[in-house]
């Protein structure tokens, strides 16, 4: 049990005990500041922020509980109280005011370190819960496997086996990169991997990178010290630190600014973070799961993502195919969503008629599973008799008016006149639109080489 690169405030009026504890904490790696009374403690707390504080309840000029009541300690400071056996009531009051734990005198440094480190873990869990990004996936937190996704399950099970082996040897867990279009269930898959893996009891911190304000993104991820910037009135641990011993899920990874990508790479490689405004590093043990809706290789080519960070994260890659590539899996998934949604509304579970099945299979599902879940809920509420998915029919009609050859039952003109080149260009344009302009993803949608897409674009 060590306290390397940490700062500790020791408040104790008994000189002999103060010197002994200070020396022991310094031998354990802490940078120790000492105070013999409230006045000295207030001066030190006004000048510095501390990772830990070990404080005696009764001091010559008052009670240390005043420091807690005055909120002199930052929210990231772990406070443990020392008290005599007759002062247990005061220790209980200290915990009510924010102390992490208390110790009865006489105090040994080893016992104090156990309480301090335990308080740090508790504080990190609280920080993680306070800033957890709860992405609501319509299909729920449980990822639905089966069918064409059985390969994905097998990949993740192999990752979990590898995780257990790494933990046995004391090695860090390798990053996992999840690729998939918006709405395919990347967040649900990340939760599944965490909750089924060997770190299920550790924290799972979810961060939507696109929702981080650019000016505060570094502080949110890595934390900051008091005074690091104008509004930094107290020290705060970052989300990566809050994920220590568990998993940090970085959704919408390409949204991170370039400067922050570089700092994230350093944090992953060093297994440590440095808070904004601090010179010390904090060692961490965090499993990174990153998710991207876009091909990172394409983004690297465009200069929008760092190649070294891509290489670092792209070790265990898992791709969730879009719904339109899953064939008859759509029907099986729809039936599962119908069952769960009907239960939520207190409805009987209806069957899907032939017309409804045809519409489900014909729809391109640009919103993937999220869109399907919304369509199921909408149909359960509005389709009175059976699940005909009538809103899909109206959407298809609008599309067919522009390109009738996409409609079911279309026949080619008997006298010719069908423009194949124009139809191909239309398909390429649709694929690019669906892939948000990503050439590689569009090529995958059309099952053609990437160079073919570029050829068609140059030909126009």
Is the pLDDT assigned to residue 91 strictly greater than 90?
A: no
- pLDDT for the residue 135: 36
Largest CA-CA distance found in the chain, in angstroms, rounded: 105
Helix axes 186-196, 150-168, angle to 10 degrees: 40
Task: Please compute the mean of the pLDDT values over residues 324-337 and round it to a whole number.
Answer: 88
Looking at every residue in the chain, the average pLDDT score rounds to 84
Task: Please compute the mean of the pLDDT values over residues 56-77 and round it to a whole number.
Answer: 88
Question: In this predicted model, which residue has the larger pLDDT, 231 or 17?
Answer: 17
* pLDDT band at residue 137 under the 50/70/90 scheme: very low
Q: In the chain, which segments carry CATH 3.40.50.300?
A: 147-321
Is the pLDDT assigned to residue 145 strictly greater than 60?
A: yes
- pLDDT for the residue 142: 65
Q: In the chain, which segments carry CATH 3.40.50.2300?
A: 6-127
Is the pLDDT assigned to residue 207 strictly greater than 50?
A: yes
Is the pLDDT assigned to residue 400 strictly greater than 50?
A: no
Is the pLDDT assigned to residue 176 strictly greater than 90?
A: yes
CATH architecture type of domain 147-321: 3-Layer(aba) Sandwich (3.40)
Rounded to 5°, the CA angle 257-259-262 comes to 110
Task: Please compute the mean of the pLDDT values over residues 178-200 and round it to a whole number.
Answer: 93
Share above pLDDT 70 across residues of the chain, in percent, rounded to a whole number: 88
- Which of 38-42, 391-395, 408-412, 434-438 has the weakest average pLDDT? 408-412
Is the pLDDT assigned to residue 104 strictly greater than 50?
A: yes
Whether the Cβ atoms of residue 46 and residue 71 lie closer than 8 Å to each other = no
The tens digit of pLDDT for each residue in 155-168 reads 999 999 999 999 99
The tens digit of pLDDT for each residue in 432-443 reads 878 878 888 888
Task: Please compute the mean of the pLDDT values over residues 130-159 and round it to a whole number.
Answer: 68
- pLDDT for the residue 252: 93
- Which of 187-196, 247-256, 388-397 has the weakest average pLDDT? 388-397
- Which of 86-95, 116-125, 264-273, 448-457 has the weakest average pLDDT? 86-95
Whether the Cβ atoms of residue 277 and residue 237 lie closer than 8 Å to each other = no
Exposed / middle / buried, residue 258 (Cβ in 10 Å: 0-12, 13-18, 19+)? exposed
- pLDDT for the residue 401: 44
Question: In this predicted model, which residue has the larger pLDDT, 140 or 260?
Answer: 260
- Which of 90-99, 189-198, 215-224, 447-456 has the weakest average pLDDT? 90-99
Pick the CATH number of 6-127 from 1.10.357.10, 3.40.640.10, 3.20.20.70, 3.40.50.2300: 3.40.50.2300
* C-alpha dist (Å) from residue 115 to 5, 12, 268, 394: 18, 17, 28, 64
Whether the Cβ atoms of residue 73 and residue 67 lie closer than 8 Å to each other = yes
The tens digit of pLDDT for each residue in 231-273 reads 777 778 889 988 988 999 999 999 999 999 999 999 999 999 9
Task: Please compute the mean of the pLDDT values over residues 399-404 and round it to a whole number.
Answer: 51
* pLDDT band at residue 410 under the 50/70/90 scheme: low
Euclidean distance between CA atoms 38 and 67, whole angstroms: 8
Max mean pLDDT among 85-99, 152-166, 334-348 falls in 152-166
* pLDDT band at residue 206 under the 50/70/90 scheme: very high
* pLDDT band at residue 406 under the 50/70/90 scheme: low
Q: In the chain, which segments carry CATH 1.10.10?
A: 415-460
Pick the CATH number of 415-460 from 1.10.150, 1.10.1610, 1.20.1730, 1.10.10: 1.10.10
Could you tell me which residues come within 8 angstroms of residue 184 by beta carbon, excluding any fewer than 6 positions away? Answer: 320, 321, 322, 323, 368, 369
Euclidean distance between CA atoms 95 and 81, whole angstroms: 8
- pLDDT for the residue 90: 72
Question: In this predicted model, which residue has the larger pLDDT, 353 or 386?
Answer: 353
Is the pLDDT assigned to residue 397 strictly greater than 50?
A: no
* C-alpha dist (Å) from residue 122 to 110, 157, 387, 402: 19, 30, 49, 59
According to DSSP, the β-strands at 236-237 and 223-224 are antiparallel
- pLDDT for the residue 166: 94
Euclidean distance between CA atoms 360 and 351, whole angstroms: 13
């Amino acid at each position: 049990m060590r306290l390397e690169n940490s700062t500790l405030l020791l408040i104790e009026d008994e000189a002999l005990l103060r010197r002994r504890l200070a020396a022991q904490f310094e031998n354990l790696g802490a940078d120790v500041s000492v105070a013999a009374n409230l006045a000295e403690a207030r001066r030190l707390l006004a000048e510095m922020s501390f990772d830990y504080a070990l404080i005696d309840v009764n001091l010559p000029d008052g009670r240390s509980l005043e420091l807690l009541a005055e909120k002199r300690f930052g929210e990231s400071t772990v406070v443990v109280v020392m008290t005599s056996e007759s002062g247990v009531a005061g220790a209980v009051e200290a915990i009510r005011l924010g102390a992490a734990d208390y110790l009865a005198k006489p105090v040994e440094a080893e016992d104090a370190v156990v309480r301090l480190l335990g308080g740090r873990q508790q504080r990190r869990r609280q920080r993680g819960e306070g800033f957890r990004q709860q992405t609501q996936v319509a299909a729920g937190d449980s990822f639905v496997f089966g069918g064409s996704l059985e390969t994905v399950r097998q990949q993740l099970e192999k990752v979990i086996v590898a995780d257990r082996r790494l933990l046995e040897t004391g090695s860090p867990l390798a990053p996992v990169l999840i690729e998939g279009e918006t709405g395919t269930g990347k967040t649900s898959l990340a939760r599944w991997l965490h909750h089924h893996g060997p770190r299920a009891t550790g924290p799972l911190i979810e961060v939507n990178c696109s929702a981080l304000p650019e000016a505060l993104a570094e502080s949110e991820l890595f934390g900051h010290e008091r005074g690091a910037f104008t509004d930094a009135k107290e020290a705060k641990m970052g989300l990566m630190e809050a994920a220590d011993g568990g998993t940090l899920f970085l959704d919408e990874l390409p949204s991170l600014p370039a400067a922050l990508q570089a700092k994230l790479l350093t944090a992953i490689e060093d297994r440590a973070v440095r808070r904004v405004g601090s010179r010390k590093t904090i060692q961490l043990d965090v499993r990174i799961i990153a998710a991207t809706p876009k091909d990172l290789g394409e983004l690297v080519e465009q200069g929008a993502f760092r190649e070294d960070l891509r290489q670092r994260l792209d070790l265990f890659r898992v791709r969730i195919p879009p719904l339109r590539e899953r064939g008859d899996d759509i029907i099986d998934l729809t039936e599962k969503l119908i069952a769960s949604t009907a239960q939520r509304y207190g409805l009987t579970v209806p069957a899907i008629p032939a017309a409804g099945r045809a519409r489900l299979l014909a729809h391109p599902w640009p919103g993937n599973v999220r869109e399907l879940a919304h369509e199921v809920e909408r149909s359960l509420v509005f389709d009175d008799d059976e699940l005909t998915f009538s809103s899909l029919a109206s959407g298809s009609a609008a599309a067919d008016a522009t390109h009738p050859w996409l409609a079911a039952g279309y026949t080619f003109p008997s006298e010719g006149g069908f423009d194949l080149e124009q139809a191909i260009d239309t398909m390429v344009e649709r694929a690019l639109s669906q892939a948000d302009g990503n050439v590689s993803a569009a090529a995958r949608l059309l099952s053609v080489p990437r160079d073919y897409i570029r050829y068609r674009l140059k030909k126009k």
